[in-house]
Structure 1
Amino acid sequence: MVSAFQSEESLIDPASYRNLAADHRAYRVGDVVSVYVLETTRAKSQAATDAASGLDVRVGLDSPSTRYNARLGMGASNTGGAQTTRLGEVRAQIASRVIEVEPDGRMWIEGEQVLRINGERQQIRLRGVIRPEDIAADNTVLSHRIADADIELTGVGVVSESTRQSLVYRLFKWLRLM
């Protein structure tokens, strides 16, 4: 006989239960893992040209009474150089959710974070694949351990608007007037 205080169902769901001594790293859909984004990119391209040419023609005529000398010279040189340097750096920590687990245990993660700083809206979005062995004991993973990583940082506001080129400037640049 079952009393009014006893139940035949357990209070613990066996499908989602993890005991206190269990490993608490992400391993299934819906789990959250913290990603430390520490990315630095640097690219540099440099080119230089240096060319020179010259032509010198001398003509002379001597006679007993006069001497004629003529000289014609032409020369040209060209020197040019260009350098492009680009540097980018992103440092952030994003909580990302496991959205899919592949049969071999690899996990697709996705996360997004939005910050508003002085009216400027900044958004960082992350997506990629992580391996269970790359997740640290504190449930974190470094961004350089993410395969097929797609990390995007965008900003909208006064600062990003001020860096855009005006229509007039772009037109002059297109016409090669600048």
Structure 2
Amino acid sequence: MKKTTLPILTMILSGCALSGCSGSLVARMTNVGDPPDMSQTQNPTLMDGYRPVSMPMPYPEPELTNVNSLWQTGSRAFFKDQRANRVGDVITVLVDLNDKSKIDSNNTYNRNASHVSNVTNFLGFESKFSAIFPKAVNPANLTNTGSNSQDTGRGLLDRKDILELKIGATIIQVLPNGNLVIQGRQEILFETELRIVEVRGIIRREDIASNNTVPYEKISEARIAYGGRGDVSDVSSVPWGQQTLNRILPW
């Protein structure tokens, strides 16, 4: 970063501090002229917000063993199963998402209502209304009501999502029924744009292929995120000031 930009950057950061800018904005401003910083590799169970997974479990069943047999139930190899099955083992998740959806709705709502009551007095208090209201009160029209409402709405959604990638995930928990909780994160830096891929969920041991891979559709409670930060993300995203107005303004 050039030295001539330091005073300008200092003024911007000071203005942000006085106006209550978010910490993420200040962090982004400090990286002006430099690519985004990559995060350190760390234990997923020590990350902020991590909670052990708790799912309904079946009753425990006794393990069945075959006398004089070296074969392991569910094994793909004769002597040893090479697939991931313990905490810390790595498995490859195959994501091949090609989703297309289209929704077109058109709604029209009309309602007319009228109610006329035959009440001719209001417990004798109608004579006192002239002191409050500018015109004389007609007792025959004390409770007459009417309403007329109309609403027309049109909605159109046409979207297509394509995501193809492979990501390594780590087993971070083994549930009592043998299912595996996995979580993986990858960061790829392209010049000034940092791409981040995250995946987590629950898989069965039986769904792990012999090459130690599992397709994303076999992941229960799957959470797959693909995003990033950098110059491209800044240009394509809505400015934070406009985002604030979108959440505050009622119209």
Instruction: Normalising by structure 1, report the TM-score.
Output: 0.62
2:199 matched to 1:126?
A: yes
Partner of residue 213 from structure 2, selected from 123, 131, 140: 140
Q: 1:119 to 1:31 in 2, by over 3 A?
A: same
For the 8 Å contact 1:39–1:144, the answer to whether it is kept is no
2:83 matched to 1:25?
A: yes
For the residues of structure 1 that align with 2:85 and 2:235, how far apart are their CA atoms? 44
SS of equivalent residue, structure 1 residue 36: strand
For the residues of structure 1 that align with 2:159 and 2:215, how far apart are their CA atoms? 23
Q: 1:168 to 1:94 in 2, by over 3 A?
A: closer
Counterpart position of 1:60: none
Aligned length, in residue pairs:
131
Q: Give a deviation string over 1:113-133, Cα, whole Å, max 9, x none.
A: 101123110101111011011
Counterpart position of 1:76: none
Q: CA RMSD in A?
A: 2.9
SS of equivalent residue, structure 1 residue 27: coil
Counterpart position of 1:16: none
Counterpart position of 2:105: 47
SS of equivalent residue, structure 1 residue 97: strand
Partner of residue 91 from structure 1, selected from 124, 149, 164: 164
Q: Give a deviation string over 1:38-84, Cα, whole Å, max 9, x none.
A: 1233332213479xxxxxxxxxxxxxxxxxxxxxxxxxxxx985422
Write the letter of the residue equivalent to 2:89. Answer: D
Q: Give a deviation string over 1:75-105, Cα, whole Å, max 9, x none.
A: xxxx985422222222111111111111221
Instruction: Normalising by structure 2, report the TM-score.
Output: 0.45
Write the letter of the residue equivalent to 1:159. Answer: V
For the 8 Å contact 1:38–1:143, the answer to whether it is kept is yes
Kindly name which structure, 1 or 2, has the bigger radius of gyration based on alpha carbons: 1
**Mapping 1:158-173, distance limit 5 Å:** 158-166=231-239, 167=241
Write the letter of the residue equivalent to 2:98. Answer: T
Q: What is the CA distance between 1:21 and its match in structure 2? A: 3.9
For the 8 Å contact 1:45–1:84, the answer to whether it is kept is yes
Q: 1:119 to 1:43 in 2, by over 3 A?
A: same
How many percent of aligned residue pairs carry the same amino acid?
33
For the residues of structure 2 that align with 1:163 and 1:85, how far apart are their CA atoms? 20
Write the letter of the residue equivalent to 2:193. Answer: E
SS of equivalent residue, structure 1 residue 133: helix
> Displaced runs of 4+ in structure 1, greater than 4 A?
79-82, 166-172
2:203 matched to 1:151?
A: no
For the residues of structure 2 that align with 1:136 and 1:175, how far apart are their CA atoms? 52
Q: What is the CA distance between 1:25 and its match in structure 2? A: 0.3
SS of equivalent residue, structure 1 residue 84: strand
Partner of residue 107 from structure 1, selected from 180, 183, 206: 180
Q: 1:128 to 1:48 in 2, by over 3 A?
A: same
SS of equivalent residue, structure 1 residue 23: coil
Q: 1:80 to 1:110 in 2, by over 3 A?
A: closer
Moved more, 137-146 or 159-168: 159-168
Structure 2 portions without partners, runs of 5+: 1-76, 109-151
